[in-house]
Amino acid sequence: MRGVDIMGIVSVANLKKTYGDFTAVDDISFDIQEGEIFGFLGPNGAGKTSTINMIIGLSRPTAGEITVDGIDVRTQTKKAQALMGIVPDESNLYNEMDGFDNLCFCGALYGMRKEEREAKARHLLEQFRLKDAGKRPFKAYSKGMRRKLTIAAALIHSPRILFLDEPTTGIDVESARQIREMIAGLKNQGTTVFLTTHYIEDAERICDRIAFIAKGRIVASGTVPELMESVSHGHAIQLVTDENAESLAAELQGRFEGSRVEVRPDHSVVIISKQRIPLLPVMEYYNDKGIAVYEARELRPTLEDVFVKLTGIESSMLKKEKEKGGAGR
């Protein structure tokens, strides 16, 4: 199965989805390698859910190819679905059933035998620290608990690929932390994970590779260092000095060829340059002027800066909570 290895366990080519005149997903292509955690990072309405829904077979692509473990999802949907665990953006288990029954029912949908699914359900409840809640109906769960049980339900049949649509959106900090830990644990067991999020920190902390998605297109993708690299940023040093150093900014800029000196609102001085900046000459310059330097450090761009630069979208757009009651899924 060499071809499959090269293609990746999930392979998406020129995927497109239109709703009437509106193009929600616009010619997206990407591969997910077996065992990696791949994430879509993008703001509301970027097309994350639309893409996931096409891959899992809940929605029909307008155009494009999708294969999962070499299986064409469009023609052999059910065969491909047997390999998938799916966590939708809404926690959608059965309100009137308790946690244990919900998990067992989901196991049964994948053809698991009674003893097998019950043992796994007990194990998952314990792993997700929901053991005490196992006998309570789903409708009595808190948001974080609902999220965790929904993830557990997707894992009951030990899928090879787990799809998580916004696993940590709108839940408490502690549950979100447990979910991140759980995802890391899955990777160790060899499960492939595809997740979407609009939290930069989550993408950075959880994912091996990230794709920035905006207005239905993948703007950039790669590992965090690769993404950082892709934006040609200069080097920057931030210096915390005596206050009277501010007036010397222009002079300092003249001293160092090709550099730009900015004074930050906190009165620190930032030297920006194409090349790396050696510290000693700067220190000597200040020393000669009789100015004390208390702190000097290199400023590195954050993933947030890279995202803003590549997508042209303000990072505040990502932080905006999901608008409820918008257009369907």
Partner 1 sequence: MKSWIAFWNILKKDVKNYYLKPPNISWGIIFPLSWTLMQLIRTPGGNILQLLPGLISMSVLFGTTSMLAVTITFERSGRSFDRLLLAPISLSTMVLAKIMGAILFGVFNAFVPVIFAAFFVNLGAVRWAVVLPAVLMIAVTSTLLGLLIAVSAKQVFEAQTFSNFFRFPMLFLCGLFVPLPSVPVFLRPLSYCLPLTYGTDLLNGAITATSSLSPVLCFSMLLAFAAALFMLCRYNINRKWIL
Ligand X SMILES: Nc1ncnc2c1ncn2[C@@H]1O[C@H](COP(=O)(O)OP(=O)(O)OP(=O)(O)O)[C@@H](O)[C@H]1O
The least CB distance from residue 6 to partner 1, in Å, is 26
Answer yes or no whether residue 50 interacts with Mg ion by CB under 5 A: no
- Return the number of the residue (49 or 81) whose C-beta is nearest Mg ion: 49
Structure tokens at 25: 């997903």
What letter represents residue 72's amino acid?
A: D
Closest CA to 296 of 242, 240, 255, 256: 240
The least CB distance from residue 171 to ligand X, in Å, is 15
Considering only 82, 283, 291, 317, the residue that binds partner 1 (CB under 8 A) is 82
Structure tokens at 287: 């020393």
- Residues within window 184-203 making contact with ligand X, judged by CB under 6 A: 198
Contact partner at residue 81 from ligand X, partner 1, Mg ion, none, CB < 5 to 8 Å by partner kind: partner 1
Considering only 36, 41, 50, 175, the residue that binds ligand X (CB under 6 A) is 50
Answer yes or no whether residue 87 interacts with ligand X by CB under 6 A: no
Answer yes or no whether residue 47 interacts with ligand X by CB under 6 A: yes
Residue window 30-59: x/- pattern of binding to partner 1, with contact defined by CB under 8 A: -----------------------x--xxxx
Whether residue 155 contacts residue 181, with contact meaning beta carbons closer than 8 Å, is answered with no
Answer yes or no whether residue 51 interacts with Mg ion by CB under 5 A: no
Count of residues of this chain found to bind partner 1 when the rule CB under 8 A is applied: 30
Answer yes or no whether residue 44 interacts with ligand X by CB under 6 A: yes
Residues that bind Mg ion (CB under 5 A): 48-49, 89
Q: Which residues bind ligand X (CB under 6 A)?
A: 19, 22, 24, 42, 44-50, 89, 198, 322, 326-329
